[in-house]
Structure 1
């Protein structure tokens, strides 16, 4: 009997503080489609158009519009555009081989235009027809994103022409789904909105459920089917998804149950977060993880992190590392050389799998005699002794991942208005401003979950919307297109959000009094008051006790109770307690309740208890909600 009236009731500890993910999701409905056409001389888009030659008249989008595409690449772009037009409420638009006529949208991929358009640029020409041309498929695709933004403001596009080419080739978002599990719906919303704003690279530090190392499958992981679905969406929307398994530090999600792989300090104490870089078995273990990830991530990049290996400690506590370095590289070698050697060995193995290496910069302290392998991309987030200009001079591609761009769940949030007013661009690193773009691949905003209960996914999404818009602007085009920040925020509001996103802030049931029943065990529960929270979840308050359902027991990770099978109990209601927030989704004639933070479902056991479990470990309980 399940009696709900009685039974329910450091990232990484990293210096870079980190707060979670979220991305340009929407917390409100998409902007209305029937807005008046903008009066600006240049059509309003985000990123803005750097050149626009006006024509005479307008292009009018109407019910007779068709998508005209002649070759396979153009048809793929057109098919995606057709999907998005339908999702935006613009009807079903056919894709045809032409010939084109008034009112049509022509999509063309012309490789001969690569000299002027590059791999991602496009030309858009609006007249009686609207023509989008790219030298490559990605360029034509980005032209369709501009069109979608224009149509979000009305049916009329002013006649004219633009050639729009990005300033930087890497325009990214980093999401640490490390330790915690971020919902795939949220991640998919992020991919769509990234593409809508012409961002092209999503770094995800996460755990894929391992077949080879089941002892590592503590909760927070993603199944292979979840990753394949996310990667497929990224491929459709030209967002490269790059995986990261941070090493040799921050390895505890993988090796906390493998003391044989952990670095042991001079007191004989194993360190669960530090991989033993001197042990061949540890390197073999990491290679096996690269192999597993290669089965679901086709990206030609591998991010190994390589940051904060000695955070909270120093090499002096591990004399075996210095001994290893001297044995391998001579008496003048330093412990840092052993660290760089590990980085280079990972890079060599990744290269053998067709992948190029990326690392964070803070491990490059200058205390090494062994250089990092040429061609390794360095993502610069922290000001240390070795400056970005030095790395570029040494030939390393450098990405700006400045701490000033971070959003940390429950902690530091980037000050977008300040950056905008300062006309920040990717040349502005932590500790150094460069005069030239040469050697800079682009920039990335990072979303980290150091305090797992500090904010919900929906709150992070709301906080990230304008920072991500600003990053998109600064990496593609003029970093300061509007005279004021208010003007820029108005631009962002005008273009709206990507078609096809799910509004994750609208529960499928209204506030009110309900009786809950577990359909699996056919047992009835007492009444609960369901109340929507400001961020779009629900609280469940027992009418019998006045307490709210909460998950709080079990092992804590990043301030979250992430132990599968731990109890869900009735606790004193607290509007600020994010662990009392639940996502309700329809399923099989009823509803599944998922904790907003732990991302585990509320399940009833045969003996009358309530517990939380990952949905792939136990089939989620389906609840009926009967309004009273």
Structure 2
């Protein structure tokens, strides 16, 4: 059946003409949904109607059972009890198509699998001539390995219009990924409307120019770049994602990566060290020395920001960054040093920990949880915080052993902005070569957790995430190229019950199934990297990257 991600169990049956129903969709095929499943049925009807031209009229379960041409959607309490809300089962036989889910997410994933079974034409937005819409007979039982199957999309470095974000949600949902980590703020741009602080978007949402390639080239395009999402845009994104069982986790990066905010409101910076009024939105890439100050006024400012963030995003987790915060300005700042003395802290690392802990408590008081990059371990980890482990596995291992939830996203394995092959053809080659096979052999739970007898630290790895940082991706086509097909491999790592030893994984079988998956990506309009290398328009000759040592 060539499904991606691979289901836990597939049992195919030879086609049969003996029953009352030939397993194919026709203009008279109807969709019957149990109470509570109508949302998934509407999504499935919309997708299949666009591709086939059929109407897929709704009917009750009782009416569907009297008909031989029905797709049935219903919940299965036993499936939920055994495998959870995201588990599903599919049966295609001579009597119909039967989708069962442990909950609405499971039914949705069953519907996504059904679309794969129908072939690449099921991903088209209008019917093509000659399609037969035949389904293979058999049964599938499936459930995900991890509850957090995420992708970070950086819209701060290069802004993506709302329509591109909605399209990206459809792409990740088609691969059974369920978290979109939206990186909304950074030195190079502020992308979320905050009503009480309008200059964050009036000033912070655009920059005068952008660096082209790696900073060592010293090259800029001298073209203004910007954009932001209104509160209603983001509400729409959240609602659209929710219908596809994708949770949008917002990131407001602090206390580092904050020059766009300081450019809008100079009083947020270390004014006793730097002329912050002279700072603009940063036009370079890299680690920026201009960080937030640690005053009470700055705390109140970002509490106000987060109040509006919580109004828009219902996610349990809110990401507050905490990464790559140079301490030089705090070391030089009399105000910061006075704060360290006032709070009885040992050093600047503990000052950052105090800053993050403040917002950890603030979010906890409102029923939310802070998640941050693994630098938040330095100086002491906030009690309720979860960790995104990006600098390898080490931070995640330490956090899991200390009792904290962990999302594994090590740069060396799942930073999809990194180049996909050696050689000069790769556009703006960045970092370590990460091939499709490399991503397929990524294991989120390292051996030191999997083999330890320490009270279940491995279970605290709640999931894994691939990250797309967009310094070198300035539009959706660039994002497509860096993300795919590697995101398909990552989706299988996050979902499927693969061997825990990466060397034991059957990459040849995955490649075979990918041969069937590429036409699906083609039908979806994804400008992915072909197995034989980039197309001419996907290359960026002469633009300096950052090859690994």
Q: Which residue in the other structure is 2:195 paired with?
A: 211
Counterpart contact for 2:273–2:329, Cα < 8 Å = no
**Rounded Cα–Cα distance in structure 1 between residues aligned with 2:50 and 2:371:** 36
Q: Which residue in the other structure is 1:240 paired with?
A: 247
Q: Which residue in the other structure is 1:103 paired with?
A: 69
Task: From the superposition, tell whether residues 484 and 97 of structure 1 become closer, same or farther in structure 2 (CA, over 3 Å).
Answer: closer
**Rounded Cα–Cα distance in structure 2 between residues aligned with 1:267 and 1:210:** 26
Q: Which residue in the other structure is 1:321 paired with?
A: 336
Q: Which residue in the other structure is 1:440 paired with?
A: 461
Deviation at 1:269, TM superposition (A): 7.0
2:26 to 58, 62, 65: 62
The structure where strand makes up a greater share of residues is 1
Counterpart contact for 1:86–1:92, Cα < 8 Å = yes
1:282 to 283, 290, 298: 298
Deviation at 1:319, TM superposition (A): 5.6
Residues 585-615 of structure 1: per-residue CA shift (max 9 Å, x gap): xxxxxxxxxxxxxxxxxxxxxxxxxxxxxxx
Deviation at 1:440, TM superposition (A): 1.0
Q: Which residue in the other structure is 2:471 paired with?
A: 450
**Over aligned residue pairs, what C-alpha RMSD do you find?**
3.1
**Rounded Cα–Cα distance in structure 1 between residues aligned with 2:517 and 2:506:** 12
Point out where structure 2 has 5 or more consecutive residues left out of the alignment: 17-22, 121-131, 185-190, 207-226, 280-287, 418-426, 453-457, 499-504, 529-534, 544-549
Deviation at 1:484, TM superposition (A): 5.6
The structure where helix makes up a greater share of residues is 2
Match status 1:155 vs 2:133: yes
Q: Which residue in the other structure is 1:400 paired with?
A: 408
- Partner secondary structure for residue 395 of structure 1: coil
- Say which one has the larger Rg: 1
Counterpart contact for 2:360–2:384, Cα < 8 Å = no
Q: Which residue in the other structure is 1:353 paired with?
A: 366
**Rounded Cα–Cα distance in structure 2 between residues aligned with 1:187 and 1:238:** 15
2:230 to 200, 223, 230: 223
Task: From the superposition, tell whether residues 485 and 96 of structure 1 become closer, same or farther in structure 2 (CA, over 3 Å).
Answer: closer
**Rounded Cα–Cα distance in structure 2 between residues aligned with 1:270 and 1:428:** 46
Match status 1:127 vs 2:134: no
1:335 to 340, 348, 363: 348
Match status 1:465 vs 2:484: yes
- Partner secondary structure for residue 120 of structure 1: coil
Task: From the superposition, tell whether residues 267 and 97 of structure 1 become closer, same or farther in structure 2 (CA, over 3 Å).
Answer: closer
Counterpart contact for 1:374–1:395, Cα < 8 Å = no
Point out where structure 1 has 5 or more consecutive residues left out of the alignment: 1-42, 506-532, 537-573, 579-628
**Rounded Cα–Cα distance in structure 2 between residues aligned with 1:474 and 1:199:** 11
- Partner secondary structure for residue 316 of structure 1: helix
**Rounded Cα–Cα distance in structure 2 between residues aligned with 1:484 and 1:315:** 53
Match status 1:260 vs 2:293: no
- Partner secondary structure for residue 61 of structure 2: coil
Q: When the two structures are superposed, what TM-score results if normalisation uses the length of structure 2?
A: 0.75
Deviation at 1:489, TM superposition (A): 2.9
Task: From the superposition, tell whether residues 271 and 248 of structure 1 become closer, same or farther in structure 2 (CA, over 3 Å).
Answer: farther
Counterpart contact for 1:68–1:96, Cα < 8 Å = yes
Q: How many residue pairs are counted as aligned between the two chains?
A: 456
**Rounded Cα–Cα distance in structure 1 between residues aligned with 2:490 and 2:241:** 19
Q: When the two structures are superposed, what TM-score results if normalisation uses the length of structure 1?
A: 0.66
Match status 1:372 vs 2:397: no
**Rounded Cα–Cα distance in structure 1 between residues aligned with 2:527 and 2:484:** 14
Q: Which residue in the other structure is 2:502 paired with?
A: none
